[in-house]
């Protein structure tokens, strides 16, 4: 399997706090890697370094074999790395459809165009609606994003990431805060992610993690505690002691 | 038959897709209202010209504040620089008003571009204070450079040649009013196109949520710099129009008071949709004119109360109240 994303020896301090300690891992095409660990283990900080929000103190990040460590977040997105946020990060007043269209304009490199109306790109409009249809949001296309139920906003997060047609997708707690009953559509969306996509997912719901992931990376106090298949992780005594419990 | 009914049902359930208003239609509306005002109040052409020029300046401010979401108190800097540039051009180079207008636009645009390269690295309160600093620097420069600005006396003594070589600027102000209105309408059309383009959508996205836009791959800084420069071009155009229609440029065109006043107008009319900018400028300028002719010392009270009313009463509430008063249904 070819490695889409490779992280080598990532290290990061916040003042005196050592939040990422020499973390290395890889995500191959089609792989579902889950990142788990107790609160404060440094999961989101790690994702922020991979996506380019934060710069690591040392270490390197490779996307399809290319070193993207010095690149900006925007450049990494264009190289095929998309993410969702743990805390819903959307344009609250935009109609859902506009929000997705914006992601499509961005993917096609059209947001430098300042004359033609956004209504005169029918192909992208159709693609936005088709994507919303797939995620069960078609009926809400013209609703302001802030008026959606929380679980649906989480789906919009996913729609925006998918609209970018990424090669690697970072999902930061997609189920966080979603009531149990509303989770089914999100689970269905996770299951219907494109096969060839490499996915790195942070999640606290262990049922979901063990069902969804093909490999699991356990983080504790900023360092990698274990890295293996779900079965290996389930049996690992260190992981049981630190996180999963007996 | 049943299948057809089903299709009909689905179509009624699905809400209408979001759609932009047509740019040329809104521009034609502005032209119609402006022209109607000019023809119905021929003795007030001076006031109307001032409204058109101010509206263009507030429109430019709306691009920065309402569209891009950057609160600024230094927008007069671009206006003043455009005014001085157009005045000096008419005085020393050529009196052609359209070339002068272009010079004013370029001056405003260049100042926005250069100051934006520095300012736009900051957000929120820091950005706000730095815009004040930039406009104060421009004001002190204008006070010192008496040869170019006339200092406290103002820059005057320049004339306009006839517009397009045919329409001489008359004493009644007909040509001045028509010229300002047409420039306003054309630039309003341009601003409308800009805001409803993919570029405008991305800038509005930055206003809504910077982190989201960065995660979509938007070069946030470059987009903001572009819209700030566009606003500078419009503010420069307003400055040039002001210089040409008043035949004088004073230091007040760079003042903090002007920056604050146009922000009040924008809030009054409603920020972010461009129409509100024009409405706010018209209401404020007319109110200023009326209130200050009744009481030249205390007219600011009226504006103060009006602003409080606008901030405290939401448009929805005001409309509901109005409907009740008019006996309409809720």
- The predicted pLDDT at position B17 comes to 64
Q: Which residues have CB under 8 Å from B101's CB, separation 6+?
A: B86, B183, B237, B240, B241, B244
Contact A92 B209 (CB under 8 A): yes
B172 assigned to some structural domain: yes
Strand runs (DSSP E) across chain B, as ranges?
155-156, 248-249
Contact B220 A116 (CB under 8 A): no
Contact B198 A113 (CB under 8 A): yes
The residue of chain A with its CA nearest to that of B227 is A114
- The predicted pLDDT at position B160 comes to 80
Pick from B196, B209, B218: CB nearest A90: B209
A-B contacts at Cβ under 8 angstroms? 118
B14 assigned to some structural domain: no
Ramachandran angles phi, psi of B202, nearest 5°: -65, -40
Contact A121 B208 (CB under 8 A): no
**Domains: count for chain B:** 1
- The predicted pLDDT at position B328 comes to 52
Residues of B within 8 A of A83 (CB-CB) are 215
- The predicted pLDDT at position B228 comes to 97
In angstroms, what separates the C-alpha of A126 from chain B's closest C-alpha? 11
B89 assigned to some structural domain: yes
- The predicted pLDDT at position B259 comes to 93
pLDDT in tens, chain B (330 residues): 344 444 444 444 445 567 777 888 999 999 999 999 989 988 889 999 999 999 999 999 999 999 999 999 999 999 999 999 999 999 888 888 999 999 999 999 999 999 999 999 999 899 999 999 999 999 999 999 888 888 888 888 888 878 787 887 787 788 899 999 999 999 999 999 999 999 999 999 999 999 899 889 889 999 999 999 999 999 999 999 999 999 889 999 999 989 998 998 898 888 888 998 999 999 989 988 888 888 777 777 877 787 787 777 766 777 777 777 766 544
- The predicted pLDDT at position B195 comes to 94
Residues of A within 8 A of B226 (CB-CB) are 114
Residues of B within 8 A of A125 (CB-CB) are 17
B229 assigned to some structural domain: yes
Residues of A within 8 A of B205 (CB-CB) are 91, 94, 102
Q: For A61-101, what is each residue's pLDDT tens digit? A: 999 989 999 998 889 999 999 999 888 889 889 999 999 99
Question: Residue A246 — pLDDT band, cuts 50, 70, 90?
Answer: low
The CA distance from A224 to A23, in Å, is 6
The CA distance from B107 to B94, in Å, is 16
Domain that holds residue B198: 21-254
pTM: 0.88
* Domain A3-244: CATH architecture, name and number where available: 3-Layer(aba) Sandwich (3.40)
> Complex ipTM, two decimals?
0.88
Residues of A within 8 A of B215 (CB-CB) are 51, 73, 77, 82-83, 85, 89, 160
Residues of B within 8 A of A110 (CB-CB) are 198
Contact B193 A117 (CB under 8 A): yes
B196 assigned to some structural domain: yes
The CA distance from A175 to A224, in Å, is 23
| Cα distances (Å, whole numbers) of residue A106 to A63, A103, A117, A198 | 20, 5, 15, 21
The CA distance from B196 to A184, in Å, is 37
Contact A90 B196 (CB under 8 A): no
Q: Which residues of A99-110 are buried (b: 16+ CB within 10 A; e: fewer)?
A: bbbbbbbbbeeb
- Label residue B174 exposed, middle or buried (CB < 10 Å: 0-12, 13-18, 19+): middle
A245 pLDDT higher than 90: no
B160 assigned to some structural domain: yes
Pick from A103, A115, A121: CB nearest B216: A103
Instruction: Report the pLDDT averaged over residues A126-133.
Output: 92
In angstroms, what separates the C-alpha of A78 from chain B's closest C-alpha? 6
Contact A105 B198 (CB under 8 A): yes
Determine what percent of chain B falls in helix, strand and coil, rounding each to the nearest 5.
75, 0, 20
Contact A51 B215 (CB under 8 A): yes
Question: Residue A178 — pLDDT band, cuts 50, 70, 90?
Answer: confident
Residues facing residue A6 across a β-bridge:
A26, A62
Ramachandran angles phi, psi of B115, nearest 5°: -70, -35
Angle, alpha carbons B180-B250-B131 (nearest 5°): 85
B119 assigned to some structural domain: yes
Q: For A191-207, what is each residue's pLDDT tens digit? A: 888 889 999 999 888 88
């Amino acid at each position: 399997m070819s490695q889409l994303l490779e992280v080598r020896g990532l290290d990061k301090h916040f003042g005196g706090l050592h939040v990422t300690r020499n973390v290395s891992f890889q995500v191959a095409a089609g792989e579902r890697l889950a990142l788990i660990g107790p609160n404060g283990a440094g999961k989101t900080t790690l994702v922020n370094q991979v996506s380019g929000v934060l710069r690591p103190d040392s270490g390197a990040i490779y996307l399809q074999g290319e070193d993207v460590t010095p690149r900006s977040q925007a450049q990494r997105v264009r190289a095929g790395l998309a993410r969702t946020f743990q805390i819903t990060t959307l344009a609250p007043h935009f109609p859902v459809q506009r929000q997705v269209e914006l992601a499509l304009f961005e993917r096609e490199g059209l947001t430098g165009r300042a004359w033609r109306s956004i209504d005169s790109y029918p192909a992208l409009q159709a693609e936005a609606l088709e994507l919303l249809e797939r995620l069960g949001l078609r009926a809400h296309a013209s609703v302001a994003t802030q008026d959606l139920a929380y679980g649906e906003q989480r789906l919009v997060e996913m729609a925006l990431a998918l609209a970018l047609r990424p090669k690697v997708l970072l999902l930061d707690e997609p189920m966080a805060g979603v009531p149990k009953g509303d989770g089914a559509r999100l689970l269905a969306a996770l299951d219907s992610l494109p096969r060839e996509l490499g996915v790195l997912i942070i999640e606290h719901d262990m049922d979901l993690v063990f069902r969804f992931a093909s490999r699991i990376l356990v983080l504790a106090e900023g360092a990698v505690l274990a890295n293996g298949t779900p079965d290996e992780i389930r049996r690992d005594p260190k992981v049981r002691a630190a996180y999963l419990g007996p | 038959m049943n299948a057809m009914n089903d299709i009909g049902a689905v179509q009624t359930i699905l809400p209408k897709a979001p759609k932009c208003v047509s740019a040329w239609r809104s521009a034609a509306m502005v032209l119609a209202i402006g022209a109607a005002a000019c023809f119905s109040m021929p003795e007030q052409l001076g006031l109307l010209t001032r409204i058109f020029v101010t509206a263009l300046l507030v429109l430019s401010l709306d691009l920065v504040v309402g569209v891009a979401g950057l609160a600024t108190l230094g927008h007069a800097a671009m206006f003043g620089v455009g005014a001085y540039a157009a005045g000096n051009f008419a005085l020393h180079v050529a009196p052609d008003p359209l070339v002068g207008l272009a010079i004013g636009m370029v001056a405003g645009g260049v100042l926005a571009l250069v100051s934006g390269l520095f300012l736009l690295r900051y957000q929120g309160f820091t950005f706000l204070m730095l815009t004040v600093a930039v406009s104060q620097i421009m004001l002190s420069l204008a006070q010192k450079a008496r040869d170019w600005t006339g200092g406290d006396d103002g820059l005057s003594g320049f004339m306009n040649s006839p517009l397009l070589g045919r329409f001489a600027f008359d004493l009644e102000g007909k040509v001045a009013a028509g010229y300002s209105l047409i420039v306003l309408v054309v630039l309003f059309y341009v601003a409308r196109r800009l805001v409803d383009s993919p570029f405008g959508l991305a800038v509005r996205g930055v206003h809504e949520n910077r982190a989201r836009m960065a995660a979509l791959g938007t070069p946030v800084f470059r987009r903001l710099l572009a819209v700030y420069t566009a606003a500078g071009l419009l503010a420069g155009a307003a400055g040039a129009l002001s210089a040409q229609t008043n035949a004088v440029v004073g230091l007040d065109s760079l003042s903090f008071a002007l920056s604050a006043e146009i922000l009040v107008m924008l809030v009054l009319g409603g920020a972010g949709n461009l129409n509100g900018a024009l409405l706010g400028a018209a209401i404020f300028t007319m109110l200023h004119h009326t209130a200050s002719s009744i009481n030249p010392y205390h007219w600011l009270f009226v504006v103060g109360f009006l602003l409080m009313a606008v901030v405290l009463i939401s448009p929805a509430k005001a409309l509901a109240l109005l409907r009740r008063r008019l006996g309409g249904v809720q």
